[in-house]
Amino acid sequence: QAREAYSSEMLRYMPVGLVVVGPVGNIEFVNHQFEVMTGWEQSDVQDESALWRHLCVDAQQHATLLQRLNIGRCEVVPTGVNMPAMEYQLRSKSGQELTMEVSGRFLGGRILLSFVDVTQRKAAEAEIRWLGFYDNLTQLPNRRLLLDRLSEALTRSQRGHAGRGALLLLDIDNFKSLNETLGHQHGDALLRLVATRLSNCIAGRHTLARQGGDEFAVVLEDLPTDALEAGRYTEQMGRSILEALRTPFYLGNQDFHVTVSMGAVMFCGAGDSVEELLKRADLALYQAKSAGRDTLQFFDPSMQKAVSARVEMEKDMRLALERHEFDLFFQPQVQRDKVIGAEALLRWKHPTKGFIPPGVFVPTAEESGLILPLGEWVLYAACRQLAHWAQNPALAELTMSVNVSPRQFYQPNFVEQVQQALQVTGAKPSLLELELTEGMLLTDVEDTIQKMVQLKGIGVMFSLDDFGTGYSSLSYLKRLPLDKLKIDQSFVREVVTSTNDAAIARSIIALGNSLGLQVIAEGVETEAQRVFLAKNGCSYWQGFYFSRPQPAAEFEAWAHAYGAEGKALSEAG
């Protein structure tokens, strides 16, 4: 009797739920763990019908479990046979849904049921599966699930079970600069907003995934079998995405304008692989960026050649930095009859290909990130040249104008970088002029002003390059601590023959003068252009009419000659 009491007590407190169903379906025993897990006590479940009625989520589940239990009462089922464990969604007395593994053992006319709560384990497994296939930041499918979905879509298309398909790859233009400016917390918030807007465009009809970073992918399926119609649908979808993302995003108490570049590739039937489709879409994405961003480009086989050339150029540029192949040329800036400064212009002479135009290699430098070490080299080289000119009385007061790329300017340590370059070279800060572009002002005006004020505090000057070609607000312009405006050469070129360009030039000159800024015109190539500018209040000029960009020694000789000529003219006058 003591042994039976001990066994009963042990069963009552076992860590699994136990229920003994008697020969006529009566509940003979319910242990403590079952009551704790489900909330149902033995008084609530006096027979098996009540047990399953309380536990089951629906009537079908109730009937299935009763059927399995009734098998155990058949004489053909011998004692000791186990009822295999199965997983069920059951319900506690409080209404909570539980995932339970239920198994049984037939003991004569009785059935011993065991209940194991696997709710937390299943939730953890589901979370692990989710993390393996979904992006935690945007809740979108990740690259792994994208590859699976793309593979399935490709297989269905190859077997003729679906129409044509398409893959779109898109990434946010200039996101790295934006992320560095906003901070990663706001950058992540922007990615979530973009993901939401993309999801609204797709509306659940196709697969949308986050590849990683700021790159997203869309897999379009069941497109028309006609290639032209499928292409039109893909283009329409791409254009709708581009348009949707052009609406400003409100973040951090201000509006941010976001655009994306997008590459598309179609697929249908055999001959394609997932890897090949991704490669082609990526090439098309690169082509979209080369075409000016905020656009959609379809894959074209000729892209491969262009991309190969870009890869080769990037490799050559890395070697060029190591081998000191880059040099600075200087184009004079004049005020009537005297030289007042020079603009430092980067030049690259390749050992076998000769001079490579900046318009060819600079975009590659910006996309690859090489613009950062290259921009730093330019800054130091320009400051060294300033320090060298300081030793020559005829050149000691010349200013040096240096272009600054957006990525370089928005580095957190940019101010320190400039200060260090001046300190190391010994150049005079008041003779260094940093050129910014209007497009840079759209990213973060407050950060721009803060950095400019810091550098102005040590004497560095600032000019706004290519003025009139961007979108800067005049309300921002008056807040910037600028020294100069530069009229873009596209307006100067036709200033004598085009009434529109003449009006724009006059307006820029008037605006600059009203703000107390020097106004310098770029691209002056003829005497007629110079005379027009002078008559309208612009007496600072730069262009081929005076001199092309030259190496340092040639520039210095030219500046001496021009200075001597100007002095003679002044004395004669």
- Higher pLDDT: 14 or 536? It is 536
Helix (H) or strand (E) holding 401: strand 399-403
Tens digit of pLDDT for each residue in 266-295?
888 666 788 889 999 998 998 888 888 888
Q: Which residues of 255-281 are buried (b: 16+ CB within 10 A; e: fewer)?
A: ebebebbbbbbbbbeeebebeebbebb
Let me know: does 555 contact 382? Beta carbons within 8 Å. no
Tens digit of pLDDT for each residue in 345-373?
999 999 999 999 998 899 889 878 899 99
| pLDDT beyond 60 at 570 | no
Tens digit of pLDDT for each residue in 385-423?
999 999 999 999 999 999 999 889 989 899 999 999 999
Which whole-number Å values give the CA distances from 78 to 28, 74, 303, in the listed order? 21, 9, 74
| pLDDT beyond 50 at 572 | no
Which token pair is 320?
A: 């060029």
Which token pair is 217?
A: 């992918």
Q: How crowded is the C-beta side of 475, counted as CA atoms within 13 Å?
A: 3
**Beta-bridge partners for 402:** 344, 434
- Higher pLDDT: 251 or 482? It is 482
Which whole-number Å values give the CA distances from 372 to 319, 369, 411, in the listed order? 15, 6, 9
Structural domains present in the chain: 2-122 (3.30.450.20), 134-300 (3.30.70.270), 324-482+543-572 (3.20.20.450)
Could you tell me where the DSSP H helices lie in 369-498? 371-389, 406-409, 414-425, 445-456, 474-477, 489-492
- The Cα 10–Cα 441 span in angstroms is 76
Q: Which residues of 534-560 are buried (b: 16+ CB within 10 A; e: fewer)?
A: eebebbbbbbeebbebbebeebbebbe
| pLDDT beyond 70 at 19 | yes
65-69, 250-254, 300-304: which range is least confident on average? Answer: 300-304
DSSP SS3 for 156: helix
Question: DSSP characters for 489-503?
Answer: HHHHTTTTT-HHHHH
Nearest CA among 566, 563, 517 for reference residue 540: 517
Nearest CA among 59, 63, 62, 119 for reference residue 87: 119
Supply the pLDDT for residue 76. 43
DSSP SS3 for 64: helix
Chain centre distance of CA 36:
51
Question: DSSP characters for 504-520?
Answer: HHHHHHHHHHHTT-EEE
Which pLDDT band holds residue 322 (cuts at 50, 70, 90)?
A: very high
Supply the pLDDT for residue 77. 45
Mean pLDDT of the residues in the chain: 85
Task: Give the gyration radius of the chain's Cα atoms.
Answer: 37
| pLDDT beyond 70 at 303 | no
| pLDDT beyond 80 at 311 | no
Residues 368-379: what's their mean pLDDT?
A: 93
Chain centre distance of CA 11:
60
Let me know: does 330 contact 555? Beta carbons within 8 Å. yes
Tens digit of pLDDT for each residue in 143-167?
988 998 998 888 887 776 567 889 9
Q: What angle do helix axes 303-323 and 358-368 make, rounded to 10 degrees?
A: 90
Q: Which of 203-207, 232-236, 384-388 has the highest mean pLDDT?
A: 384-388
Name the residue type at position 54. H
Let me know: does 168 contact 263? Beta carbons within 8 Å. yes
Nearest CA among 472, 465, 540, 533 for reference residue 504: 533
